[in-house]
Amino acid sequence: MTKIHIPRILGILLVILTGLMFLTKTNIIGNIMKVFALTSGLILLFSKKTTTKKAFKLFTESFINKKLLLTTIIEILFWIITLGIITFSGIFLKSFAKSLKSAIPTKIEFLGVLPNLLSVQKYFYLAISIIIFGVFLWFLAYSTTRAISWAKLRNKKITKKYWLKFTLLNFTWWLLWTPIMILIFKGLKKEAVQIVFTITILLYLYLTPILHHTFFNIHKTWETIAYTLLYSITELPKFLIPYSFAFIVLIILFFVNKAMPTKAIGLLILTFFISWLRKYLNKYMDEIIRI
């Protein structure tokens, strides 16, 4: 008797679901998601049984683990810090905006005396400083929480040296993406920005877990980036399988989120998905791709 191959069944269901999705009208991002859904279904449908079987085993095991709970809590902490930075930065910027408004002279004052340009300039620089400081704090929160999460997943101790190297890696990685983002928003037509930006974000999300995982084997910034780009290309067929499973989880969580009464629950669902995917990919890269 032939054993039921669950990944293949999931692939069939995903293809059928995508077919139904194509019957509905959606925006550009929705159309991109349809393509990804169809691709994921076809990957699970036609990939080698041995590979998908191992990947599915890791997939089912990835949901039950103490590390998942811990990394999810760390991820929640990151988003709390993010919301805090946005909130307080917004409060300060609104306060400075009011002060700036009072510092700008009226038309009558322009007729009589020169405006207090130094005062206006001072408020402007303060506002810029707040934005830069907020981004800096957010980057530190991002790098620190991910350093802790990956250290836990990789069973490594968190040292000052490790944190500094990991932070330098993230800083360099972001610098490399900056000109790409500038080119997208400054060099492309408005109609193309949304599509290219979405694809770029997905590419970033694909490469970054590989980057962080690889770092623990190399510990050097440029070598880690080089190997990340190499692995992401040479091992792409193998990486498509876990992301196909992840897409199924994302679809399920999407509908769960739709049924939730508040957006806060949606944010919790997002943090769970990010933490789970990080853990699943870490195990997958260890046992299947052996990076």
Give the torsion sign (CA, 91, 97, 103, 108).
Answer: negative
Which residue has 């080698």 as its token pair?
48
pLDDT of residue 225: 96
Give the model's confidence band at 111: pLDDT under 50 very low, under 70 low, under 90 confident, else very high. Answer: very low
Give the torsion sign (CA, 7, 11, 12, 16).
Answer: positive
Whether residue 41 is contained in a domain is answered as no
Interatomic CA distance for residues 147 and 74, integer angstroms: 10
- DSSP labels, 134-154: HHHHHHHHHHHHHHHHHHHHT
Whether residue 36 is contained in a domain is answered as no
Whether residue 70 is contained in a domain is answered as yes
Lowest-confidence pick of 28-32, 151-155, 210-214, 251-255 = 28-32
| Residue of 271, 282, 291 lying closest to 58 (CA atoms) | 282
pLDDT of residue 206: 92
Which residues touch 68 (CB under 8 Å, ≥6 apart)?
62, 275, 276, 279
Whether residue 194 is contained in a domain is answered as yes
Is 101's pLDDT higher than 70? no
Domain holding 155, by residue range, is 47-289
Whether residue 11 is contained in a domain is answered as no
- The model scores a pTM over 0.75: yes
- Residue 121's identity, in one-letter code, is Q
CA distances for 34 relative to 16, 122, 193, angstroms: 11, 50, 19
Expressed in angstroms, the distance from the first to the final Cα of the chain is 36
Residue 182 burial by CB count (10 A; 0-12/13-18/19+): exposed, middle or buried? exposed
Mean pLDDT within 267-283: 90
Lowest-confidence pick of 36-45, 117-126, 145-154 = 117-126
pLDDT of residue 145: 95
Whether residue 26 is contained in a domain is answered as no
Provide the mean pLDDT of the chain: 84
Is 195's pLDDT higher than 90? no
Whether residue 7 is contained in a domain is answered as no
Angle at 179 between CA 173 and CA 183, to 5 degrees: 140
Give the torsion sign (CA, 21, 45, 284, 226).
Answer: negative
Which residues touch 188 (CB under 8 Å, ≥6 apart)?
196
Is 221's pLDDT higher than 50? yes
Three-class SS state of 189: coil
| Residue of 18, 47, 35, 14 lying closest to 199 (CA atoms) | 35
If you count them, how many residues does the chain have? 291
pLDDT of residue 119: 59
Whether residue 238 is contained in a domain is answered as yes
CA distances for 36 relative to 103, 124, 198, 255, angstroms: 52, 44, 12, 17
* pLDDT (tens digit per residue) in 72-98: 999 999 999 999 999 988 888 777 777
pLDDT of residue 102: 61
% of residues, the chain, pLDDT over 70: 89
* pLDDT (tens digit per residue) in 138-167: 999 999 999 999 999 998 888 999 999 999
Q: What is the phi/psi pair of residue 5, to 5°?
A: -100, 100
Is 1's pLDDT higher than 60? no
User: What's the domain count of the chain?
Assistant: 1
